[in-house]
Amino acid sequence: MLIEVGNLVKFFRNIEALKGIDFTMNKGIYGLIGPNGAGKSTTIKILLDLIKPSYGEAYIFGMDCQKDSFEIKKRIGVLHENSRFPGRVTGREFLEYVGKLKDIDLDDIERKAEAVGIKNALDRKIEEYSAGMMQRIGLAQSLLGDPELVILDEPTSNLDPLGRMEFLEIIKKFNRENGTNFLICTHILSELERVCDSIIVINNGKVLDYGKIENMMKKYCRTYYRIKSSDNRKIVERIGGELKNDYVYVYNKDFLYNLMECVKEGVTLYSLEEIKPDLEYLFKKIIEVSG
């Protein structure tokens, strides 16, 4: 087990930001997901010993995040939200500085720079970097020394759609080829589904559920069908379902015979689609079920 959190509570004066959250993280790529203000960044800061919890426990690698933070930080990499880098030094100089702090082989800088796609920009000053290159050098420094766990807080928030896709592909590659584990804190769910195998859902300071995406899909969601025809009302009368925005939504598979009967009776079928739930739909269902 990489991370274990138990009954974690955090007050900021009279505001309860975390309300006794519990979750565990095993190997893989996990997404810590929730809307802005849900408690994601507060959780990350407690894990990194940047702030103290009011109550509760948090462990990484079985070590206490407060008492053993120095030892923990030797084995993890971090990219903070809205990270700032020294603009007047080159990318190489910055990574060499980080490398010396981590006491690693400086050859690793070339390897990580190439892996994240900034090798050709290492000798340029960081102030000349685009937003995408800034995030890449941030990812490179978090990967120096091949940490067992990398924590990324809103890593794609300043990137365009193509940049986000490329960034997440790099993460996926490191997990696949190096076995690097990632905890990605984000509210952008559409891209996260491309790389994560597990999620932790947090809202209003509470962890609502966590686990493998595949298992949670089975628990909360179901495949449904969307039909458009020349007479949607007749379709609903015959096979059931829900009429919404010029479509009939059907939530069971036992409708094809009755649908074909409608067609034989003169109803023109324009479209029949099988809709599989995505991560955004799953998140909404968990929020809905949790009240």
Q: How far apart are CA 237 and CA 241, in angstroms?
A: 9
Q: Are residues 200 and 228 in the same domain?
A: no
Q: Which two tokens stand for residue 211?
A: 């686990």
What SS3 class is residue 106? coil
CB 41 within 8 A of CB 79: no
Q: Are residues 201 and 231 in the same domain?
A: no
Cα separation values, 159 from 132, 135, 164, 242, Å: 6, 8, 6, 38
Q: Which two tokens stand for residue 212?
A: 């493998």
Q: Are residues 56 and 161 in the same domain?
A: yes
CB 188 within 8 A of CB 219: no
Mean pLDDT of the chain: 92
Q: Residue 191 has what pLDDT? A: 75
- Domain for residue 93, yes or no? yes
Q: Are residues 205 and 234 in the same domain?
A: no
Task: Tell me the per-residue pLDDT of 166-207, one tens digit each, with 9 for 90 and over.
Answer: 889 999 999 999 999 999 998 778 778 889 999 999 999 999
Q: How far apart are CA 241 and CA 248, in angstroms?
A: 6
Q: Are residues 10 and 145 in the same domain?
A: yes
With 80 as the cut, is the pLDDT of residue 39 above it?
A: yes
Q: Residue 286 has what pLDDT? A: 95
With 80 as the cut, is the pLDDT of residue 5 above it?
A: yes
Q: Residue 207 has what pLDDT? A: 97
- Domain for residue 198, yes or no? yes
Q: What is the DSSP letter of 108?
A: H
Per cent of the chain over pLDDT 70 is 100
Cα separation values, 187 from 36, 148, 202, 203, 283, Å: 7, 24, 10, 11, 11
Q: Are residues 228 and 203 in the same domain?
A: no
Q: What is the DSSP letter of 121?
A: G
Task: Tell me the per-residue pLDDT of 214-256, one tens digit each, with 9 for 90 and over.
Answer: 999 999 988 889 999 999 999 999 998 899 989 999 988 788 8
Q: Which domain holds residue 97?
A: 3-218
- Domain for residue 170, yes or no? yes
- Domain for residue 143, yes or no? yes
Q: Which two tokens stand for residue 77?
A: 């990499």
Q: Are residues 69 and 179 in the same domain?
A: yes
Q: Residue 162 has what pLDDT? A: 84
- Domain for residue 288, yes or no? no
Q: Are residues 243 and 167 in the same domain?
A: no
CATH of the domain at 21: 3.40.50.300
Confidence of residue 163 (pLDDT cuts 50, 70, 90): confident
Residue 60 has φ and ψ, to the nearest 5°, of -125, 130
- Domain for residue 290, yes or no? no
Q: Are residues 119 and 205 in the same domain?
A: yes
The tally of domains found in the chain comes to 2
Q: Residue 203 has what pLDDT? A: 95
Q: How many residues does the chain have?
A: 291
CB 241 within 8 A of CB 250: yes
Q: Residue 231 has what pLDDT? A: 95
Q: How far apart are CA 274 and CA 270, in angstroms?
A: 14
Q: Are residues 212 and 237 in the same domain?
A: no
Q: Which residue has the tokens 């928030």?
A: 157
- Domain for residue 10, yes or no? yes
Q: Residue 73 has what pLDDT? A: 93
Task: Tell me the per-residue pLDDT of 43-99, one tens digit each, with 9 for 90 and over.
Answer: 999 999 999 999 999 999 999 999 999 999 999 999 998 888 999 999 999 999 999
Exposed / middle / buried, residue 51 (Cβ in 10 Å: 0-12, 13-18, 19+) = middle
Mean pLDDT within 11-36: 95
Q: Are residues 75 and 9 in the same domain?
A: yes
- Domain for residue 206, yes or no? yes
Q: Are residues 207 and 243 in the same domain?
A: no
Does the CA dihedral 91-69-19-10 come out positive or negative? negative
